[in-house]
Amino acid sequence: MNKEIRLGIIGSSDGNGHPYSWSAIFNGYNQKIMKNSGYPTISNYLKKQKFPDIQIKEGKVTHVWTQDKNLSNHIASSTFIDNVVDDYHELIDKVDAILLARDDAENHFKIAKPFLEAGMPIYIDKPFALTVFDAKELIKLQRYKGQIFSCSAMRYSAELKLSDEQKNIVGEICTIHGFVPKSWDKYAVHIIEPILQLIPGRGEILENKIWRHDDKVLLLVNFKTGEEIHIQTCGNSISPISLRIIGTKGWVDLIFTDTFNTFRYALLDFIKGIINKDERIPSNEIIEVVKFIELGRSK
């Protein structure tokens, strides 16, 4: 596929500015209008980038739908989207691929279904689903391998990976503590995914325990291969997305700060999958991430 890929973006859900940020990464943005988006963090990190050089040139967001026409118009005007549609089903005949930029997982099946049935590639925002059953039901709708792309963009964060030097400091990984602000359902995925990337040879789960206090959740998991992980969502407390990795030789702290490039790498990988017609994130990996989300929700 040599032509520019036409993308339709679907949003939004409470507190999720991805329709703004993702569209800007493809299309560029109007700084003055973006300031009024209600997402000052997005406006601030976009200002630090070199546009148009940093944009993903292989795709363009050409259409937008949200459940609020005024919001759709604002997203369109702030990120140079030419078309606002009244019904997301209209996108089937108007674009080549879909960006489902909503993090309300309970609505993913309903919204994604018509596009999957039409054979269109779709990027489904995190969390993909909240139960393994729902994840498998959604994946069953795929018409071909790799049609669904879904992850936390933290999967692509260079800051949450170990460099060769850090691997030497840590030795064999024994324990990983992960911290993320806000709620378990929407934000635990941001540390689950990079943690699982760090211990690809982990065995089956030996045991797990859950602690809850007010709006905070802590999930502890022990694997048969000996590794232990602690996944904590901190609710309204202030916390960076961060990992402490403890090993046989030492420990390192990894702290996430680069939102723009992490989103850009994830979106670019989605586009590469469309161009190369291959699977970028295997379905079994998507399901395993959901398994850990479900563990933290269990009673």
Domain chopping of the chain, boundaries: 5-153+260-287, 158-257
The dihedral built from the CA positions of residue 119, 121, 127 and 131, taken in this order, carries a sign that is positive
* Single-letter amino acid, residue 225: T
User: pLDDT tens for residues 103-150?
Assistant: 999 999 999 999 999 999 999 999 999 999 999 999 999 999 999 999
**Total count of residues recorded for the chain:** 299
**Tokens, residue 30:** 């109007």
- Of 108, 94, 100, 132, residue with least CA distance to 267: 100
User: pLDDT tens for residues 57-72?
Assistant: 999 999 999 999 999 9
| CATH class of the region 158-257 | alpha beta
Residue with tokens 């000996």: 226
52 upstream amide cis, omega within 30 of 0: yes
Q: Which CATH superfamily is domain 5-153+260-287 in?
A: NAD(P)-binding Rossmann-like Domain (3.40.50.720)
Indicate whether 41 pLDDT > 80.
yes
The yes-or-no answer to whether 5-153+260-287 and 158-257 have a common fold is no
In 3-state terms, what secondary structure has residue 63? strand
User: pLDDT tens for residues 75-107?
Assistant: 999 999 999 999 999 999 999 999 999 999 999
What pLDDT does residue 1 have?
46
For the purposes of burial, counting CB atoms within 10 Å of the CB of 92, is it exposed (0-12), middle (13-18) or buried (19 or more)?
A: middle
* Single-letter amino acid, residue 160: L
User: pLDDT tens for residues 203-249?
Assistant: 999 999 999 999 999 999 999 999 999 999 999 999 999 999 999 99
User: Average pLDDT, stretch 8-33?
Assistant: 95
Cα–Cα distance, 25 to 213 (Å, whole number): 38
User: pLDDT tens for residues 180-203?
Assistant: 999 999 999 999 999 999 999 999
pLDDT tier for residue 298 given thresholds of 50, 70 and 90: confident
> Taking the model in full, what pTM does it have?
0.96
Which residues are bridge partners to 235 per DSSP?
A: 182
pLDDT tier for residue 12 given thresholds of 50, 70 and 90: confident
Q: Please work out, in degrees rounded to the nearest 5, the angle formed at the alpha carbon of residue 110 by the alpha carbons of 134 and 123.
A: 80
User: Average pLDDT, stretch 274-297?
Assistant: 97
Q: How many of the other CB atoms lie within 10 Å of CB of 180? A: 25
In 3-state terms, what secondary structure has residue 83? strand
Mean confidence (pLDDT) of the chain: 96
Q: Please work out, in degrees rounded to the nearest 5, the angle formed at the alpha carbon of residue 44 by the alpha carbons of 43 and 45.
A: 100
Indicate whether 2 pLDDT > 90.
no
SS3 content of the chain, % helix, strand, coil (to 5): 40, 25, 35
- Of 51, 80, 76, residue with least CA distance to 65: 76
**Tokens, residue 145:** 């391998």
**Tokens, residue 209:** 């325990």
* Single-letter amino acid, residue 118: A
User: Average pLDDT, stretch 22-51?
Assistant: 96
Q: How many of the other CB atoms lie within 10 Å of CB of 169? A: 14
